[in-house]
Amino acid sequence: MPRPSRWPEILQAAGQEFREHGYENATLEGIATRVGILKGSVYNYVDSKEDLLLAVVEQPARALLDELERLLADTDSGVAVRLRELVRMQIRIFSEYYPAAFVYLEHLGRLEQSARFAEFRRMDARYMEAVEALVAEGAACGEFSLAAEPRIVARAIVGMIDWMQHWFTPHGEEEDLRLADQIFALALGGLAAGGSMRAMLGALPDPLAVDATP
């Protein structure tokens, strides 16, 4: 009988290796050791370390885009409801594809330098466009009062979520969902009251506008 494939184990081990050591310092030897096979056996599945990076990031990237398209197709729910679901979906993918999803975030710079990863750059741009469109829609319909233009607000929200790569570990569906709602509540406070906060700041004395007279 043919030997069972070790590919799922190699993929998981590669995600852990890239997560802990980064792409430059990760080695095929280290990945093989995690699986309990010889380095040469890894070449039965891939030709290079870059092939492994591509395989590791592909699953969470495609899962995110699939979920995003499903969310964008929902035109019946309010903007806040859809944005909340987007945050929940993002953290669900962080958990389901841990640590591969964070390998993707950590290596975006490298992905941008390689022609092989052009599709992922388009995915990332599509994601940012979707968040910006939701923020702009919320402002246009009166659900949100923004402190800045939609482009800046969208990047602030995505940046807050992406920063989770530095501290998040999965703790089960219920706790992860609670965390997602806490993060969304933090974002929603700024979305709902950002305009009034900006106006309030405008009424405060400008610390830079000091009397320059000696």
- Domain presence at residue 187: yes
pLDDT tens-digit readout, 85-123: 999 999 999 999 999 999 988 887 666 666 777 778 888
Q: Closest Cα to residue 61, out of 28, 12, 107? A: 107
d(CA 155, CA 150): 8
Cβ proximity of 105 and 61 under 8 Å? no
Query: What mean pLDDT value characterizes the chain?
Result: 87
In this structure, are 78 and 36 located in the same domain?
Answer: no
pLDDT tens-digit readout, 55-88: 998 889 888 888 888 888 888 899 999 999 999 9
What pLDDT is stored for residue 203 in this prediction? 74
In this structure, are 31 and 111 located in the same domain?
Answer: no
Q: Closest Cα to residue 108, out of 122, 94, 98? A: 122
Domain boundary among 45, 65, 80: 45
Number of domains making up the chain = 2
User: What CATH number has the domain bearing residue 23?
Assistant: 1.10.10.60
In this structure, are 21 and 104 located in the same domain?
Answer: no
pLDDT at 1 over 50: no
pLDDT at 187 over 50: yes
Range of the domain at 29: 1-45
The pTM score is 0.83
What pLDDT is stored for residue 152 in this prediction? 95
Cβ proximity of 21 and 103 under 8 Å? no
% pLDDT > 90, the chain = 60
What pLDDT is stored for residue 157 in this prediction? 94
In this structure, are 63 and 94 located in the same domain?
Answer: yes
pLDDT at 127 over 80: yes
pLDDT at 210 over 80: no
Helices (H) and strands (E) in the chain, counts: 10, 0
What pLDDT is stored for residue 171 in this prediction? 94
pLDDT tens-digit readout, 7-23: 999 999 999 999 999 98
pLDDT at 212 over 70: no
Q: How would DSSP label each residue in 126-160? A: HHHHHHHHHHHHHHHHTS---SS-HHHHHHHHHHH
- Domain presence at residue 211: no
Q: How would DSSP label each residue in 1-26? A: -PPPP-HHHHHHHHHHHHHHHHHHH-
What pLDDT is stored for residue 117 in this prediction? 74
In this structure, are 86 and 116 located in the same domain?
Answer: yes
- Domain presence at residue 212: no
d(CA 159, CA 168): 14
